[in-house]
Amino acid sequence: MGVMQWAKGLFREATTESLVDQSFQSLPAKKLSELAIKKWAIDSCVNKIANALAKADIQTFVAGEETRGEDWYLFNIEPNPNQNATEFWKKAVYKLVYENEVLIFSMGNAMYVADSFSQHKFAFRENVYSNIVLKDYAVSALFPESKVMHLTLNIEKTKTVIDGFYRLYGDLISEGVSNYKKLNSRKFLYKTKGQLAQTKEAQEEMRNLLSNRIRVFLSEKDAVLPLQEGHLLEELEQNKAKIAESRDIKKMIDDVFEMTTTSFHLPWGVAKGDTVGLNEQMNAFLMFGLNPIAEMISDEGNRKLYGKALVLQRTYMKMDTSRIKVIDLKDSASALELLFRTGTNTIDDNLAMVGKERTGLPENNQRFISKNYAVQGSEEMLAQGGDRDAE
């Protein structure tokens, strides 16, 4: 649920209210702002992970050869009639990272991400899934473990750990905001000669002066406050060294954000958009944050959708994360040339690495090895290269 939905609930703009909306309406504004900071930090991290993995390409292989068939179209273009592949995988990864688990089930020739479900666990036979809800539709069918893709990210829910940390740190942020307002507020003394009259009219006049006229006077850029003789409004001199800065609060919020990014294996520099050392940060992001999720999706898809017999025959799927990282052609030219001349890549492989379409031509799927490389002790390849001595 987004912050805008919270706000709509608070100001009664929403036509329908869920139980969560009603519970947030009962929270004081101070507590609501604290939760907004935590939710903003978590959502920022989860969205970055989901957006990155949605760019991954799911490759399909038949007998060891990469192919594009029905499965490839299902994984990469249209998983179901109501979602394209990017929307589908973003939702799947978001629920996996945010809720620590996700259930993907099939109906007909389409795949769907469940919004909610119940899991019945067993020790020596398949688990069973029921009460599956997709949007507002309840699926009545029961699904055994072998017919669904059920992914669990961590043994303990990351968000629960963050919640525990924030219970301690949230109070510090609230106290920092309170101190900022207190130390940076202007304070005045209202002086008058003699004693104030105790009549109702005099008391009402004093209340109007302090609550209305002075408040308007202080809130305006240029203003005049008329006072009777014997009345004086004097501003207190404050210790300038004690004046708080908003950056103190920002540092505490940054601490929450940094702790959250660490929990989700997202480098702090990537999270805040820092370009210094971006290449190393992206490598760490791929290694610790994205590749484990991609490997989990590949393993679950292979064991559930393909099965042992097909996988052993090298018919399988693989979520490829190599294209998530932006490749500069100028920087990667030497690496591509090395991969090609050592026989590691074909021409089509190199085209795919830089995001271009494979040609599919037989000659572009051949592997070549430079004459500089030969089996140790072999003279055959060396004899065919270089200048020959004149006879």
Per-residue pLDDT of the chain (391 residues; tens, 9 = 90+): 443 443 344 334 333 333 334 433 444 445 545 566 777 778 888 888 888 888 898 999 999 888 989 999 999 999 999 999 999 999 999 898 888 899 999 998 999 999 999 999 999 999 999 999 999 899 999 999 999 999 998 766 666 666 665 565 555 555 555 665 656 666 666 666 656 666 777 667 767 766 666 666 666 565 666 666 656 666 666 555 454 555 666 776 777 778 788 888 888 888 877 777 778 888 889 998 899 999 999 999 999 999 999 999 999 999 999 878 776 666 677 778 888 888 888 888 888 777 777 887 888 888 888 877 766 555 554 444 445 554 4
Other Cβ atoms within 10 Å of 83 Cβ, number: 17
pTM above threshold 0.85:
no
Structure tokens at 88: 């589908």
Q: What is the spatial distance between Cα 77 and Cα 196, in angstroms, rounded to a whole number?
A: 80
* CA distances for 307 relative to 18, 50, 146, 278, 320, angstroms: 41, 27, 10, 39, 20
Contacts of 316 (CB under 8 A, 6+ apart): 60, 61, 298, 302, 306, 310
Output the DSSP codes for 78-109. Answer: -SBTTB-HHHHHHHHHHHHHHHSEEEEEEETT
Q: What are the residue ranges spanned by the domains of the chain?
A: 1-100+153-187+240-326, 189-235, 327-391
1 exposure class (CB count in 10 Å sphere: 0-12, 13-18, 19+): exposed
Residue 255: both structure tokens together: 């601490």
Give the pairing of strands 137-139 and 110-113: unpaired
Distance, CA of 306 to CA of 181 (rounded, Å) = 61
Helices 246-263 and 158-183 cross at an angle (nearest 10°) of 180
Q: What angle do CA 32, 37, 40 make, to 5 degrees?
A: 115
Residue 48: closest CA among 281, 213, 357, 252: 281
Answer positive or negative: Cα dihedral of 282, 287, 289, 290.
positive
